[in-house]
């Protein structure tokens, strides 16, 4: 991949202030706001944003009480009275709005948020009346993330308007948008300008979760899932417990999983717990990626250390990698990338690609069957001919097994079997061909996956002809197919072993350390 011209601002140049953890209080009554302030303090936030536009005009006059509650709970506060014209809820006149903000300042609010669109005169006039508070000048783009040159000009202009803190919130349409915002935060804070630079939306998540690494002034989290004040906000619990924002430093290495959809991936929970357990200074994020070119360019430009790859990108990433593991190359699917580069300097490093799916599945089967090498010479029947079947068939052949592929659509099995030099059958053939027996039956179809837990891809008669049954599905843990096998006294291996195994091997590749497999298993089981 071509080298980039981006200037990497060193950590030492950034402001020597920890990034504050903030949550927005969006209750619609004063008593409920007071409850939320207490909850926010208990959740470990440093600063609370009082969203006065969620209150009625009758309630908002009590803003001094809310400011005081923040002080009593030892959290800083921002008073924000967001008008409808800037994406907020307030629809009244400007005079009352600014009067309430002044009231908040006089009550001791640490920061007052004023919209950039108010213009320099109104902002400076307000500032001259309130020496008690610092001014955050903010701007929101609910459609896009403008070009970096425009964002830089906007930040400069905000400063000229009198901003003590610059806040720019945009909308990310790709992962690069999130990293451009992080870079803006780093560049501005390196000049002494406190900066909040956030990209809203799921693609923007890195801008929230990596804010400490990039020297941002603060980052927002939601008090609870469902109480987000902007799209894409993670929960405070995840920010502190899963992503450990308070422990993040400029050198913290960044890993992640790319896919679409990615929201429900268990990988961040597993890998972050493993990093924490072994004291590895690294964080692992979910990246919602639709455009693989954009992501891979971002990966290199922003010196990410490695990533896991899931649907639909496994077949697309090899072309970006300098070294592709031989079996992964033959399979044509990659689920792991590790960069040999570091977070600093001009060396972008070499991207090394591999596939830990097959390694994990084959290891789980061989462990049960009698140890490493036990698949050699064995008859293996694989149900399905999709991506997982392809990886496992290559893996089994690599270990010396004799493979038969059986698929609902015979032509797909035939195409794959021709490539691999093995036998193809239809699922129907399998039912009628009583002579087809073997050691291992592997299911890679989605039949039996939750919610269709009463379905199985083949009959109990077929199951009874094998010694060991492996199901790639891990939800439910014990599929109908595995239940049938158990009933017939066959050995069984759940897909969860493959899932844990592929993550463990990835962790090893990421860190060079022995993975804490039992902890990783525990984290998966908690989520299933």
Task: For the CB of residue 380, give the shortest distance to ligand NAP in the complex, in Å.
Answer: 16
Crossing angle for the helix pair 292-301 and 175-189, to the nearest 10 degrees: 30
| Distance between first and last Cα of the chain | 39
Binding pattern for the stretch 475-514 against ligand NAP, x by CB under 6 A and - elsewhere: --------------------x--xx--x------------
**Neighbour count for residue 309 (Cβ, 10 Å):** 25
Provide the token pair at 132: 């008690």
CA angle 298, 300, 306 (to 5 degrees): 95
User: CB of 389: closest distance to ligand NAP in angstroms?
Assistant: 6
Q: Which of 473, 481, 493, 520 binds ligand NAP (CB under 6 A)?
A: 473
The three-class DSSP label of residue 528 is coil
**Residues 286-325, mask of contacts with ligand NAP (x by CB under 6 A):** ----------------------------------------
Contact 63, 96 (CB under 8 A): no
Listed ranges 51-59, 84-92, 122-130, 471-479: which one lies at the site for ligand NAP (CB under 6 A): 471-479
Any contact of residue 354 with ligand NAP (CB under 6 A)? no
Catalytic residue list contains 264: no
Residue with smaller CB distance to ligand NAP, 141 or 429: 429
Q: How far is the CB of 361 from ligand NAP (least distance, A)?
A: 7
Kindly state whether residue 385 participates in binding ligand NAP, applying the rule CB under 6 A. yes
Residue 318 neighbours by CB under 8 Å, 6+ apart: 324, 328, 329, 332, 334, 353
b/e for 393-406, b at 16 or more Cβ within 10 A? bbbbbbbebbbbbb
Q: Taking CB under 6 A as the rule, does residue 474 contact ligand NAP?
A: yes
Q: Which of 127, 167, 271, 313 is catalytic?
A: 167
Query: 99: Cβ–Cβ under 8 A, 6 or more apart, which residues?
Result: none
Q: How many residues bind ligand NAP (CB under 6 A)?
A: 24
Select 206 or 495, whichever has its Cβ closest to ligand NAP. Answer: 495
Whole-angstrom CA distances from 460 to 233, 368, 482, 489, 525 are 47, 21, 10, 12, 28
Kindly state whether residue 384 participates in binding ligand NAP, applying the rule CB under 6 A: yes
Residue number with CB closer to ligand NAP (83 or 476): 476
Q: Which residue is nearest to ligand NAP (CB)?
A: 386
314 carries an active-site annotation: yes
List the one residue from 412, 488, 490, 492 that touches ligand NAP (CB under 6 A): 412
- Sole window of 216-224, 346-354, 397-405, 440-448 interacting with ligand NAP (rule: CB under 6 A): 440-448
Binding flag, residue 447, ligand NAP (CB under 6 A) = yes
Between 444 and 506, name the residue whose CB sits nearer to ligand NAP: 444
Query: Nearer to ligand NAP by C-beta: 402 or 412?
Result: 412
Catalytic residue among 103, 127, 140, 378: 140
Rounded to a whole number of angstroms, the minimum distance from the CB of residue 205 to ligand NAP is 23
Interacting residue with ligand NAP among 472, 484, 485, 524 (CB under 6 A): 472
Question: Rounded to 10 degrees, what is the CA torsion of 208, 214, 218, 220?
Answer: 0
Q: Is 408 in the site for ligand NAP (CB under 6 A)?
A: yes
Instruction: Report the residue number, 223 or 380, with the smaller CB distance to ligand NAP.
Output: 380
Map 80-136 to HEC letters. Answer: ECCEHHHCCCECCCHHHHHHHHHHHHHCCCCEEEEEHHHCHHHHHHHHHHCCCCEEE
* Min dist. Cβ of residue 472 to ligand NAP (A): 4
Check if the beta carbon of residue 197 is closer than 8 Å to that of residue 184.
yes
Min. distance of Cβ 448 from ligand NAP in angstroms? 8
- Does 445 participate in binding ligand NAP (rule CB under 6 A)? yes
Contact partners, residue 313, CB within 8 Å, separation at least 6: 258, 259, 260, 289, 292
Own/partner contacts of 503-509, CB < 8 Å, gap of 24 or more, are 503/267, 503/270, 503/271, 503/308, 503/356, 504/360, 505/336, 505/356, 505/359, 505/360, 506/271, 506/306, 506/308, 506/335, 506/336, 506/356, 507/271, 507/274, 509/306, 509/336, 509/338, 509/354, 509/356
User: Applying CB under 6 A, which of residues 219, 356, 407, 426 lies at the interface with ligand NAP?
Assistant: 407
Active-site residue, 357 included: yes
Asked if the peptide bond before residue 59 counts as cis, ω within 30 degrees of 0, the response is: no
> Cα separations (Å) of 83 from 13, 96, 167, 253?
36, 11, 16, 39
If one asks whether residue 386 binds ligand NAP (CB under 6 A), the answer comes out as yes
CB of 384 to ligand NAP, least distance (A): 4
Q: How far is the CB of 134 from ligand NAP (least distance, A)?
A: 50
Q: Of these, 336, 388, 404, 506, which contacts ligand NAP (CB under 6 A)? A: 388
Q: What does the alpha-carbon distance between residue 478 and residue 480 come to, in Å, rounded to a whole number?
A: 7
Write down the H helix ranges in 107-227.
120-129, 148-160, 175-189, 205-209
- Which residue of 306, 387, 515, 516 would you call a contact of ligand NAP, by CB under 6 A? 387
Interface residue list for ligand NAP (CB under 6 A): 357, 384-389, 407-409, 412, 444-447, 449, 457, 472-474, 495, 498-499, 502
Task: Tell me the catalytic residues.
Answer: 140, 167, 314, 357
């Amino acid at each position: 991949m071509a080298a980039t011209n981006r200037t990497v601002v060193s950590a030492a140049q950034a402001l020597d202030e920890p990034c504050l953890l903030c949550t927005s209080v969006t209750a619609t009554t004063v008593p409920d706001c007071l409850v939320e302030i207490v909850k926010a303090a208990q959740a470990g936030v440093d600063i609370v944003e009082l969203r006065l536009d969620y209150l009625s005009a009758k309630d908002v006059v009590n803003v001094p009480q809310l400011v005081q509650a923040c002080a009593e709970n030892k959290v800083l506060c921002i008073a924000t009275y967001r008008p409808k014209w800037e994406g907020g809820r307030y629809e009244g006149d400007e005079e009352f709005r600014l009067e309430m903000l002044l009231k908040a300042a006089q009550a001791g609010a640490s920061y007052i948020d004023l919209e950039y669109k108010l213009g320099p005169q109104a902002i400076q006039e307000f500032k001259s009346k309130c020496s008690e508070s610092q001014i955050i000048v903010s701007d929101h783009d609910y459609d896009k993330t403008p070009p970096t040159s425009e964002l830089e000009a906007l930040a400069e202009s905000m400063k000229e308007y009198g901003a003590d803190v610059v806040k720019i919130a945009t909308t990310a349409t790709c992962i690069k948008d999130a990293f451009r915002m992080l870079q803006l935060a780093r560049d501005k804070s390196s000049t002494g300008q406190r900066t909040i630079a956030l990209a809203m939306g799921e693609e923007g998540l890195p801008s929230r979760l990596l804010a400490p690494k990039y020297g941002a002034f603060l980052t927002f989290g939601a008090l609870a899932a469902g109480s987000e004040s902007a799209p894409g906000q993670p929960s405070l619990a995840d920010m502190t417990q899963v992503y450990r924002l308070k422990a993040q430093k400029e050198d913290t290495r960044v890993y992640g999983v790319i896919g679409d959809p990615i929201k429900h991936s268990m990988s961040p929970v597993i890998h972050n717990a493993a990093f924490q357990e072994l004291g590895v200074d690294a964080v692992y994020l979910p990246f919602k990626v639709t455009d693989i070119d954009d992501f891979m360019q971002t990966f290199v430009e922003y010196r990410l250390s490695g990533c896991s790859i899931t649907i639909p990108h496994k077949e697309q990433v090899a072309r970006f990698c300098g070294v592709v593991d031989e079996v992964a190359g033959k399979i044509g699917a990659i689920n792991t990338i590790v960069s040999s580069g570091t977070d600093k300097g001009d060396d972008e490093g070499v991207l090394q690609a591999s596939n830990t799916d097959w390694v994990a599945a084959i290891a789980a089967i061989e462990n049960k069957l009698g140890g490493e090498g036990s698949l050699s010479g064995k008859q293996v029947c694989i149900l399905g001919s999709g991506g997982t079947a392809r990886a496992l068939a290559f893996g089994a052949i690599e270990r010396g097994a004799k493979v038969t592929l059986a698929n609902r659509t015979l032509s797909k099995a035939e195409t794959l079997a021709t490539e691999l030099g093995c036998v193809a059958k239809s699922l129907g053939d399998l039912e009628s061909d009583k002579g087809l027996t073997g050691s291992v039956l592997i299911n890679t179809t989605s039949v039996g996956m939750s919610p269709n837990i009463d379905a199985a891809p083949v009959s109990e008669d077929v199951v009874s002809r094998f010694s060991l049954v492996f199901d790639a599905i891990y939800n439910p843990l014990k599929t109908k197919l595995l239940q049938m096998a158990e009933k017939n006294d066959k050995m069984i291996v759940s897909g969860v072993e493959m899932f844990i195994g592929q993550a463990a091997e990835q962790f090893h590749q990421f860190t060079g350390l022995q993975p804490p497999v039992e902890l990783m298993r525990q984290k998966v089981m908690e989520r299933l």
